[in-house]
Structure 1
Amino acid sequence: MRPNPTHQVTDVTFVRDLVAREGFATIVSTTTAGPVASHYPIVLEDSGDGLVVLTHLGRPDERIHEIDAAAAAGREVLVIVQGPHGYVSPSWYSPGSSRAPTWNFTVAHLWGVPQVLTPEENLDSLVALVAHFEQHVDEPMWLDRDWATPVARGTVGLQIPVTRLDVKAKLSQDKDPTSVQNVIDHLRAPGPYSDPALAADMERARDEGTPAP
């Protein structure tokens, strides 16, 4: 991503919260056929050595991504987690401010070498993944291991220890307080650019001094 210290985030808690809230990622690999991308739910765990992405690929995506070759060669994959984002009109700024339109967003880029899980580890990961999302359901349906075992054979489980990350939260931090409030108000209002989630992120960035999700 384009370097910009104003929008750079280094707080690991921010990354944990972003992944926990969004739960869906784009996985990008460099292969002999060129770059490929797929989209899957993820969870982020802590190990003794740092953050670890847990996810899976549906077959035959593991072949398309050449995961075995990447693991053997120590080749990184990129995991992209996108938070709320939306258009910001310069008409929302206070008089005399910038006339340039922009796009506010939150995103995390996580790199790491994939490690292929054993079938049992993959099943554990799928059970944990379902439990993570079902916890907010009124009548949760936990993943039954006996039922899930044959289904899990259609997936390849991955853990990706995060070796480096790049996180940006562009939430009008460089604008004056009146402009920031105007943008928040417009994002909360009904209309084609309504985005309450993005407005909430902007409010937290302003009120807490950090752009925590």
Structure 2
Amino acid sequence: MRQNPSFTLASEEGVKRLVREHPWAIIVSMTDASGLVASHYPVLLDETAEGIVLLTHVGRPDEVVHELGRHEVLVIIQGPHGYISPGWYDANPAVPTWNFVTAHLHGTPELLEPDENLRVLDALVDHFEQRMPEPRSMRSTPENAAYAERIAAGTVGLRIPVARFVAKNKMSQNRPDETVDRIIAELDGDGPYASPALAEEMRRTHEVLRAARAERAGATSADASAPAVGERA
């Protein structure tokens, strides 16, 4: 993924937030037998580990197709994204663009033992079920537990320590505040390219940027008003 300093997401915590909020991932492998292979699975963060560590599973025989454990994989996490019309800018000539936030995570998977795999499956189900009015865990009853253990045998659990990542948060940081506010208003509206989720991501990004600018301006103002060395305050 080509980087641009204006849009680089270099924060490990920022990437973790992206994974937590958008856990549907694409896992890509370059294999000896089949060339490029891609699969789609939900992922969780191992919150007890240092750095970024992903927990997930694949259905058999994907562990064979991907040759998991034999080489590095690429895990792609995609957050909110959407079309940005030049009509939302100003009267000057402009072209459309696409705003998005995404991370490319690289690491070599570790295949889990069956009991560890079952714990990961439990955690995945509980993570998504917790929002339900009546959460249903995978092993809430003896019948459910027996069924879960049979189903789990058809899956392979993975732990993926992320060795490196490249992430990008492109949210019109190169546009003036009034244009950004207009884009956010359009995304929050009811037009054909409305996207409240993208509007919220833009809002979050620019709140941080504006706060940083205000802090720098305050520091500069304080420095300018401070008495010079040797002067009386």
If the length of structure 1 is used for normalisation, what is the TM-score? Answer: 0.92
Aligned to 2:45: 44
**Deviation, structure 1 residue 94:** 2.3
CA distance in 2, matches of 1:113, 1:43: 16
Name the residue aligned to 2:26: 26
Give the distance between the partners of 2:23 and 2:209, measured in 1 at CA.
25
1:168 matches 2:168: yes
| Dislocated runs of 4+, deviation >3 Å | 46-49
**Aligned pair partner of 2:97 in 86, 93, 102:** 102
Per-residue Cα deviation, 1:153-199 (whole angstroms, up to 9, x for no partner): 11111100010011110000010111111111111111221100000
Secondary structure of residue in 2 paired with 1:209: helix
Following superposition, the deviation at residue 9 of structure 1 comes to 1.1
Q: Partner amino acid for 1:172? A: S
**Aligned equivalent of 1:209:** 209
* The structure with more radius of gyration: 2
Q: Which residue is equivalent to 1:133? A: 128
Distance 2:51 2:205 in 1: 25
State the SS of the aligned residue for 1:50. Answer: coil
Unpaired runs of at least 5, structure 2: 140-144, 211-233
Are 1:142 and 2:137 matched, yes or no? yes
Q: Distance in 1 between matches of 2:209 and 2:120?
A: 35
Higher relative contact order (CA closer than 8 Å, sequence separation 6+): 1
TM-score normalised by L of structure 2: 0.84
C-alpha distance in 2 between matches for 1:92 and 1:209: 20
1:115-166 deviation digits (Å, cap 9, x = unpaired): 1000000000000111111111111001104331110011111100010011
User: Which amino acid is 1:92 matched to?
Assistant: W
Q: Deviations over 1:24-81 (max 9, x none)?
A: 100000102211100000001245542211011111111111114x1xxxx2100000
- Equivalent position amino acid for 1:153 in 2: A
Structure 1 gap ranges (5+): none
Q: Percent identity?
A: 49
Query: Which amino acid is the alignment partner of residue 95 of structure 2?
Result: A
Greater share of residues in strand? 1
Residues in 2 aligned to 1:60 and 1:128: alpha-carbon distance in whole angstroms:
22
The residue correspondences of 1:68-107 to structure 2 (distance < 5 A) are 68=69, 70=70, 75-96=71-92, 99-107=94-102
CA distance in 2, matches of 1:28, 1:183: 33
CA-based RMSD: 1.4
Answering whether residue 113 of structure 2 is matched by residue 118 of structure 1, we say: yes
CA distance in 2, matches of 1:146, 1:208: 49
Amino acid in structure 2 at the alignment position of 1:207: E
- 1:147-158 pair list within 5 angstroms: 147-158=147-158
Change (3 A) 1:17 1:148: same
